[in-house]
Amino acid sequence: MDDPVIQTDRLLWRRSSPQDLDALHALVSDDEVVKNTATWPSPADRAFAESRCAPFDLGRG
């Protein structure tokens, strides 16, 4: 089964992958982004971001 993807003119929503680590870490290193979340550590923790880029089992719901 292919991973689900939602795409519009302005958005591509897909499952994260390890290749997303640098971009994700850059986002969560921005205090303006992190202040709007309840779960991201500040200052940014690269290991935490890496855990969020790990593939997950879509069948587990």
DSSP annotation string for the chain: -PPP-EE-SS-EE----GGGHHHHHHHHT-HHHHTT-SSS-SS--HHHHHHHHS---GGG-
Residue 1: pLDDT band (50, 70, 90) is low
- Each domain of the chain, given as residue ranges in start order, spans 22-55
Q: Is the pTM of this model over 0.85?
A: no
Percent with pLDDT over 70 in the chain: 89
pLDDT digit string (tens) for 19-42?
Answer: 999 998 998 899 898 888 888 888
Q: In this structure, are strands 6-7 and 12-13 parallel, antiparallel, or unpaired?
A: antiparallel
> Does residue 60 register a pLDDT over 90?
no
Token pair for 59: 């069948």
